[in-house]
Structures are given as structure tokens and as C-alpha cells.
């Protein structure tokens, strides 16, 4: 079941993001360490769209959509910078459920959500050093629009146009 997160879900979202970060670190990708702060998750629930996926009352995946990029892109890599877009952050599947297609399912829901809201694009960053994750987004139609450095890491900036 997919639904918008409520403030009482923040601790579970925090736990899932921490587990996903630890799994990424085991694979050699440390960009999600340390865990996303609980107070920022609460703020995102209020100011952005945080979604959770539950299975048998367990949180198995989460993602956040916002109207603005955090942090802003400077310079913007998008071919049409002013296009109505949503910025995808923290798409995470619990490590015990990875490989079941939940990430792909989430990306499909994100595209549907944006199309139904007349949003023309989904934009996100992916750690450039993680070729498996980059390929995952590319398989789902995301196109590289540029690269940027942040916090000592290089990221690929991806965009999915939701209208043909």
C-alpha cells in the first residue's frame, strides 16, 4: 500500500533510511552515512511529499518529492530549466526487500503521480560511483543531464520527462 507519510511515520522512515544507508556503505558507497536526521524527515513530511510503501503493516520503501531541488542546482543542467518538475530524493527500499521490484514499482508510481498532477519532469541525483544504481534509473527512462559535486561526492543529474 502506498500513502503519504504522516508525522507519526517519521521514526520508521528514519530507521528505513538508516538501514538503506548501511547497506550502501557495505557495498562501498558511503554517501548516505550518517542517517538523514529525524527532524528533517519531519520537516519534509510537512513541507514536501514523503511517501511510504507498506506491506503487511511494515514499511518497506519510501521516497520524497519536492517542488524545489535541495540543494539548488547551480548551474542548472536541465535543457528546459523552468519546466514544472518534481525533485526526487531518498528513494529507498529496505535491504531485506531489495531485488523484489519495489524500486521499479516506486518509479512507476512517481511517474504516474507527476503525470496526473500535470508535472512535466522528475529530476534526481544519483551517486556517479554507483553504476548499478545509475543503470537502474536509465532502464526506467531517466536521462543524464549533467553532473555535480556535493559533500565530496560526484552525482549524475537525471531527468525523466513524464509527457511524450
**Which CATH number belongs to the domain containing residue 100 in this structure?**
3.40.630.30
* Mean of pLDDT values over 54-71: 95
Whether residue 62 is contained in a domain is answered as yes
Give the CA distances from residue 47 to residues 40, 42, 66, 80, 164, in Å, rounded to whole numbers and listed in that order: 10, 9, 8, 25, 29
Dihedral sign from CA coordinates of 94, 41, 107, 110: positive
Whether residue 71 is contained in a domain is answered as yes
Q: Is the pLDDT of residue 86 over 80?
A: yes
pLDDT bracket for residue 81 (50, 70, 90): confident
pLDDT bracket for residue 164 (50, 70, 90): low
* Mean of pLDDT values over 36-65: 96
Whether residue 123 is contained in a domain is answered as no
pLDDT for position 34: 84
Whether residue 59 is contained in a domain is answered as yes
* Mean of pLDDT values over 137-158: 96
Pair 67, 88: CB distance under 8 Å: no
Domain count of the fold of the chain: 1
pLDDT for position 22: 97
Residue range of the domain that includes 87: 2-118
| Helix boundaries (H) for 3-159 | 10-26, 38-47, 102-116, 131-139
Whether residue 43 is contained in a domain is answered as yes
Work out the mean pLDDT of the chain and round it to a whole number. 96
- Helix, strand, coil content of the chain in percent (nearest 5): 35, 30, 35
pLDDT bracket for residue 71 (50, 70, 90): confident
Whether residue 20 is contained in a domain is answered as yes
Whether residue 142 is contained in a domain is answered as no
pLDDT bracket for residue 163 (50, 70, 90): confident
Whether residue 135 is contained in a domain is answered as no
Report the phi/psi class of residue 13: left, alpha or beta, with left for phi > 0 and alpha for psi in -120 to 50: alpha
Amino acid at each position: 500500500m502506498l500513502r503519504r507519510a504522516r508525522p507519526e511515520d517519521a521514526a520508521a522512515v528514519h530507521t528505513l533510511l538508516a538501514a538503506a544507508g548501511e547497506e550502501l556503505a557495505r557495498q562501498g558507497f558511503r554517501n548516505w552515512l550518517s542517517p538523514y536526521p529525524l527532524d528533517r524527515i519531519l520537516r519534509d513530511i510537512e513541507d514536501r511529499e514523503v511517501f511510504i510503501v507498506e506491506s503487511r503493516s511494515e514499511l518497506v520503501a519510501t521516497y520524497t518529492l519536492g517542488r524545489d531541488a535541495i540543494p539548488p542546482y547551480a548551474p542548472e543542467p536541465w535543457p528546459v530549466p523552468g519546466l514544472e518538475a518534481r525533485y526526487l530524493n531518498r528513494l529507498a527500499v529496505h535491504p531485506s526487500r531489495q531485488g523484489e521490484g519495489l524500486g521499479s514499482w516506486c518509479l512507476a508510481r512517481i511517474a504516474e503521480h507527476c503525470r496526473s498532477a500535470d508535472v512535466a519532469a522528475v529530476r534526481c541525483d544519483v551517486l556517479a560511483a554507483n553504476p548499478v544504481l545509475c543503470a537502474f534509473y536509465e532502464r526506467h527512462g531517466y536521462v543524464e543531464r549533467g553532473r555535480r559535486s556535493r559533500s565530496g561526492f560526484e552525482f549524475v543529474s537525471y531527468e525523466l520527462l513524464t509527457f511524450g
